[in-house]
Structure formats: C-alpha cells, structure tokens
Amino acid sequence: MNFTVIIPARLASTRLPNKPLADLGGKPMVVRVAERARASGASRIVVATDHADILAACAAHGVEARMTRSDHPSGTDRIAEVALALGLADDEVVVNLQGDEPLIDPALLAACAGRISAGVPMATCAHPLSDVAEVFNPNVVKVVLDKAGRALYFSRATIPWHRDAFAATRDVLPAGYAPLRHIGLYAYSNAFLQAYPGLEPAPLEQIEALEQLRVLWHGYPIAVHVTDSAPPAGVDTPEDLARVRLQYAS
C-alpha cells in the first residue's frame, strides 16, 4: 500500500540539546531516521521541523523537509500542517515517526500503515510485556484491545488488572498473562489527521497525560498492530545516544 512518513523534529530538547542533529556514524540522527523510513517502502518521507538548521541538514543529505510553525502543541499538529501543505488526498495514509527513533524496524511502519481501513482512521502498535516491573511501571503505557484488535483503552495503570493473581502476589506474573505495552508509532488517514487538531482535549487525556485518549473519547476507533517484541528504545538522554552510536559504529 502507499503511505507517506512524516517525521516531526524539533531542535529544542531539555534532556539532549540539538538531538535531531546528533551525529550517528557521520550523519545527523534525523537523517538516519529518514533512512529507516525509506526502507519501509513508504512512497514519500518528509521531515517536519521548526528550525532552519534541521532543514539544512536534511537538504545536505537529500532528505525532503518542510518548515512548520513553532507553536504547535504536539507532533501530531505539526505533521498535520505538513500533510496539508503536501496536498495529500483524504485517503492517503500518513505515518507519524518520531525523529529520535534511528533503530526503528522499517517493517513496523508498513504494518502500522496497513491497519488503516474504511471506518478505522488511526492505527498504532503494541507488544506483550513479560517483565513484572514494567507491568507495574506508570511510565510504561498499556493498552487493552477488543476482539477485532482495536484499542479499548490506554492507561499508565496495570490493565487488564488480574484480580485473583494480584490479590495473592505482585512479584511474578501469572501464567498466560501478558499485558500489551503501547508503542508510540501512529498512522492516520489524512482526512482524520486534518480533523485531529480541531478535536477538543478530553478529560481522560488530561488525567492520564496520554494524547491518544482524545481519539477514543471522541468515538474514533484505533487499530493496534501487535508485534512479538519491543522495538529498540529511542534516544532521549546522552546515555541513549551513546548506546545508539555503538550500533552505528559496529
């Protein structure tokens, strides 16, 4: 299927200044992310940025990039601006790939895009959890699905809650119990992407600090592609950057 990957990339980063331009094996990180996207079979890859330095770095490496406003409240709003400027058709599928995921599996992008269908304007990904600490970690977002593989709810809480097993112990996970961890990769139909910025923020979204709950609260379905294992972690800290640099040096 045809899909466009848009990569939001802001220069400002509290924990890792100038993160999109960090060198990975001789190329800026945002360029490495675009290369991963290119391997997914996407028909077009565009970086969405609010800074001229990122625009110049992309141009130097043959990566298409577009400038956006600097006041967008989220990356979703930023890619919506670029999708509109590109003149994409309403039924075009747009994948939102974060600019700090230089090790993302290209096949995951294609799988996520493939979950968009008539009546299902948004998709994301998840993988089973097996580590008890992650299951109870509020920084690890969980999702529960219906029988069609669509999201019922996202939460920082441990969902589904295994009532009987957790009444006995929370030190080990019961057999056959594998909650799904949400992976922050999204795909949208362009028509829905353009409508998204106009959706009123939802109370649930504000309570959990999870933007995707706005979509469910307004009644739109989200399809979820479940992959067997966790993708490599993105780059948020200097320690993450050092780990990824070792991958590109090997």
User: Residue 160 belongs to a domain with what CATH number?
Assistant: 3.90.550.10
Q: Which domain holds residue 24?
A: 3-243
Residue 72: predicted pLDDT: 81
pTM of structure: 0.94
Judge whether residue 160 has pLDDT over 90.
Answer: yes
Alpha-carbon dihedral 185, 188, 193, 199, rounded to 10 degrees: -80
Number of domains in the chain: 1
Q: For helices 29-38 and 52-60, what crossing angle results, to 10°?
A: 50
The whole-chain average pLDDT of the chain stands at 94
What was the pLDDT predicted at 71? 82
Q: Is residue 249 part of a domain?
A: no
Q: Which two tokens stand for residue 6?
A: 């848009």
How many angstroms separate the CA atoms of 56 and 220, rounded?
A: 38
Is residue 18 a contact partner of residue 28, using CB atoms and an 8 Å limit?
A: no
SS3 (DSSP) at 94: strand
pLDDT tens digits, one per residue of 50-100: 899 999 999 999 999 999 988 888 878 889 999 999 999 999 999 999 999
In this structure, is residue 248 part of a structural domain? no
